[in-house]
Chains A and B, each alone.
Chain A
Amino acid sequence: MRISLHLSENQNEVQKQIENCADILFRPLLIGEKEKTEAFLIYIEVAVSNLMLEDSVIGKLLNRLLSMDTKEIYGTLENNSLGISDTKELFTLEEAMAAMFAGNAVLFVDGYDRAIKIGSKGYPGSGVQKTDSEKGLRGSKEAFSESVKMNTALIRKRIRNAKMKAEEKQVGRYSATTTALLYLDGVVYLPICEEMRKRLDAFEVDGIEDGGMIEYLTRKKKEGRFPVYQTTERPDRAAQAILEGRVVLLTDNSPEALIFPATLNSLFQTADDYYRNERIVTFLRLIRYVAAFLALALPGLYVAAATFHPQLLPGNLIRSMAEARSGVPFPTAAEVLLMELSFELLREAGLRMPGPAGNTIGIVGGLIVGQAAVSANLVSPITVTVAALTALGSFSIPNEELSEVFRLWKYGILLLGSCFGILGVMLGCFLLLMLMAEQESYGIPWLYPYVGGNLNERADEKDSMFLAAARKRKRRPIFAKWGNRIRFRRKS
């Protein structure tokens, strides 16, 4: 609906729409010389405070408008001759309402068939945070906040070049959540962006409360088995991804960015891998892969070895295991399952409890309950060790979504191991590997560069399980546009 020249018509329509919205303020004004010209301002009370109106650019604008002739007002607004940085003319009422809901003030003036969006501080947010879930020894400690604008700025701070594009789009029928698609023009493989645009257009939903919702709504049918997006709370990691030719999706109200395409390899990388010595990073990455294997298969292997293949283990160990298990009423498989489920319970309890209490739950659960269970002969000490090692392995995986996948598969492999011994563990791993081979993330094989590594002249293998020295990693990964993959060259 176009904005009318008559203020009363606009006023009626706006008031109809904001009826019973106590948080939205409607402020009638009289501006111009002798206060002849009627106007009104609408804004969200908290997003544009009254104080701001009186002591800010908006306030000063209004003060200036008070002393102008009516015709002069129209010219000033049209040409933005006061030089206010964030103003925009809006032609329809829908645009005006959307601008107001985005946290701006919107000014309507009688006899002027446009509304003026005046940028303001916006909704309250938590501000720039410190990294919490992706801690690193080196590198920036900044983490994303919950405002898409601020998050975009945090990335822009690291890539100060107009080639980095940030396309905004509103998603959600009622929430109209702002999302921003960030990429490096000329480096990104554009069909990946196009695919994301298509996926965002392919659904309609009431609201988007977090990037996680977009992650699950834009997944294809067979993409649900493993994470096809890499989530990060670190702006430096997001900037690294953009420089690699990947795409970052930011969502308003979400302190995490979605990076895509994502591969198994990229999910094992951390931001500070690139700030440290490549030898130690290689060692740490090998540890992470071993940890992932432990998180996946250790309980299954333990049950298989203890139940079906004790001959695999040294005699002394078998004896001590038998002694430790004497008096335990459950079979080994049930004992391990019990321990693993108890651990899940502890993890969930720790997560839901408020901060300090959550830590206490971990200590109480780990030490006291574990010790009590061993003393009561409910579980053997070696089972506690296996469960603890499995949990440590699970925590060592840098990506939480991937860790969750392995956590679920662990139970399947445990079941197979308790039915078919080590053979069952092998078949379970086979099945998992097959599903991994089937998976793709925006057209990139999920197991890349462990499959098809030759597609990018083996450059990606230099940043996989082993990290080559920075000067040897001359090419961008496969995500980048073909023909623009050189990222490092020595100056002659």
Chain B
Amino acid sequence: MFGRNGKISKRQIRRILILEQAAKIGLLLPLPAQIPEGGFSIWSWILTAALTFLYLKIMLDFSKKLPEYPATDRKKGMENKAAENRKDGTGQAEIAILTVVYGIYGLADVFFLLCLFAEVAQCFLLPEQKIWMLILPAAAVCSFAADHRLEVRAKFLEVLCPILTFPVMLLLLVLAVLTIRGGQFGTLGEMMRPSAPGSIWIAGIAMLSVFAGLGSDVFLQRETEEQQSRSVFEKTTGSMLIGSLLLLFLLQAVFGAGGIRALPFSVITAMSNSKIKGIFLQRWDVLFAVFFLGMVCGALVSGFTVLGTCSERLLPGKKKKWKWWLMAAAASAAACVSPSYEKSVQLYELVSLGFLGITMLMALLKIIRKIYCK
């Protein structure tokens, strides 16, 4: 009767995007500071923001031309003018390539997120627990959540988002108020200082990998109730970028560039500094880690969904379920036997930059062909 129309609302899209990106921004964005040639600067952030918006715009335009949905599960009979779009020139070969690319990205994304989950959990919560013991419950819960129709997932993430993000924002605010002293703002000047173009590019492109997931999310645009969801993507991405800049400022003010380089997951570590008199809890970083892990789980649900949808199309056979679970199991097993967390980050950055490059190249080719045909 209600809620089974195969569509989700703009608010749901906004919250899915926030959950997916927030964990990666918080945990992955400080990484470029650890690259010897990199380091934070406002210039590399501007470069990242510009490239992210360009990528988003190209993907939003490109997604309209596709006859099928590489990353979503719209119900039968609700396809988006498939025949009409085929006339437009988008062929099956492009779809196949894109599905393979999405599949590989989905695999790398899930693999990385599971490794990230285990690493953060081991670092801040359960240092003595084995990696696979941490990965398996998370993989089981998140893949179970992902194995539901789009609307159910959207409802789940819609509720989860405020439960996780509001406390995170509140705690960050508390940290900012209680930890940073006036003198520490002087270190922010370091971020404004012009650096070598090479290092700006290296840091900018490294940070771009955080936003690679937007490419798979734009396909959600067609599932919204209103067609004007394009602005939701742009506004949410803009907010996330501004949020990431504020976070980088906060970390810089708390630790300075050297501190960020030396500390693992500096966003969470920063919380261990905050002490609120009269408050029962003593270690805010533990609580903060739990909230961040919750957000990682939110991103994992989306990652498993992309992986499952692509696997349904790539692997032969009629039964969809086993393909879905096979790929989920493969990604989880890979994460369990992963040699180190650093390797998984390197692999993720490599694959996501490749994914960015290939999708943008395909979109550009499409645009060139359209111009040529005219």
Contact = CB atoms under 8 A, between A and B. Distances in A.
Nearest to A191: B1
Contacts of A478: 2
B282 A311 contact: yes
A442 interface: yes
A138 interface: no
B156 A437 contact: yes
B145 A195 contact: no
Contact of A443 (B2, B126, B142, B297): B2
Of A314, A420, A447, A455, most buried by chain B (CB within 10 Å of CB) is A420
Contact of A437 (B4, B126, B152, B283): B152
A433 B156 contact: yes
Given A434-B145, A437-B159, A451-B158, A427 B283 contact: no
Contacts of A437: 148, 152-153, 155-156, 159
B9 A433 contact: no
B137 interface: yes
A192 interface: yes
Contacts of B2: 440, 443-445, 455, 478
A357 interface: no
Contact of B125 (A189, A309, A313, A436): A309
A192 B293 CA distance: 40
Interface string A303-319: 00000110111110000
B351 to A, nearest CB: 26
A421 B125 contact: yes
Interface residues of B, number: 38
Contacts of A438: 148, 152, 156
A426 B155 contact: no
Given A430-B297, A452-B9, A478-B2, A447 B155 contact: yes
A423 B126 contact: yes
B159 A433 contact: yes
Given A423-B293, A430-B145, A430-B294, A451 B283 contact: no
A424 interface: yes
A424 B137 contact: yes
B1 A420 contact: no
A314 B148 contact: no
A454 B9 contact: yes
Given A427-B137, A430-B145, A451-B158, A308 B126 contact: yes
B218 to A, nearest CB: 22
B334 interface: no
A280 interface: no
Size range of the interface on A? 35 or more
Contacts of A192: 1
B138 A427 contact: yes
A395 interface: no
A305 to B, nearest CB: 9
A315 B282 CA distance: 9
A450 B158 CA distance: 8
Nearest to A416: B137
Contacts of A420: 126, 129, 133-134, 137
A431 interface: yes
B343 interface: no
Contacts of A189: 1
Interface in B247-296: 280-283, 286-287, 290, 293-294
A433 B138 contact: no
A377 B164 CA distance: 39
Nearest to A455: B2
Contacts of B137: 416, 420, 423-424, 427
Interface string B133-146: 11001100110110
B197 interface: no
A41 interface: no
A422 interface: yes
Of A312, A436, A452, A455, most buried by chain B (CB within 10 Å of CB) is A452
A229 B77 CA distance: 33
A430 B117 CA distance: 15
A303 to B, nearest CB: 14
The 6 closest A-B pairs by CB, nearest first: A443-B1, A437-B156, A437-B155, A451-B155, A434-B145, A443-B2
Interface of B: 1-4, 9, 11-12, 121, 125-126, 129, 133-134, 137-138, 141-142, 144-145, 148, 152-156, 158-160, 280-283, 286-287, 290, 293-294, 297
Interface of A: 189, 191-192, 195, 308-309, 311-315, 416, 420-424, 426-427, 430-431, 433-434, 436-438, 440, 442-445, 447, 450-452, 454-455, 478
Given A430-B145, A444-B2, A445-B155, 7 more contacts: A195-B1, A314-B280, A416-B137, A420-B133, A426-B297, A447-B155, A454-B11
12 contacts: A311-B282, A312-B286, A422-B286, A424-B137, A426-B297, A427-B138, A436-B159, A440-B3, A445-B2, A451-B12, A452-B155, A455-B2
